[in-house]
Amino acid sequence: MADKSEIYFEITIIGGSAKVAAVDAATLIEVAVIGPASASTADLKRLALGKLKARIARERREGRIP
């Protein structure tokens, strides 16, 4: 993931849970995490961003993206 790549977040509250989707604009890779709705937005975004970075790194290792 390039340092200047834009990341888009979408947060959906479902009962006591929050689903956070993170999309990397450069690669169009999307991941989602679910956490408690009582968690801070920053914590949920940080969790989703970490998962997104790991997914992009895996895709690069496997040669699916440059």
Residue pair 11/18 in contact (Cβ under 8 Å)? The answer is yes
What pLDDT does residue 3 have? 61
- Between vectors from CA 46 to CA 53 and to CA 56, what angle results, nearest 5°? 10
pTM for this model (two decimals): 0.90
How does the average pLDDT of the chain come out, rounded?
A: 94
pLDDT per residue over 22-52, tens digit each? 999 999 999 999 999 999 999 999 999 999 9
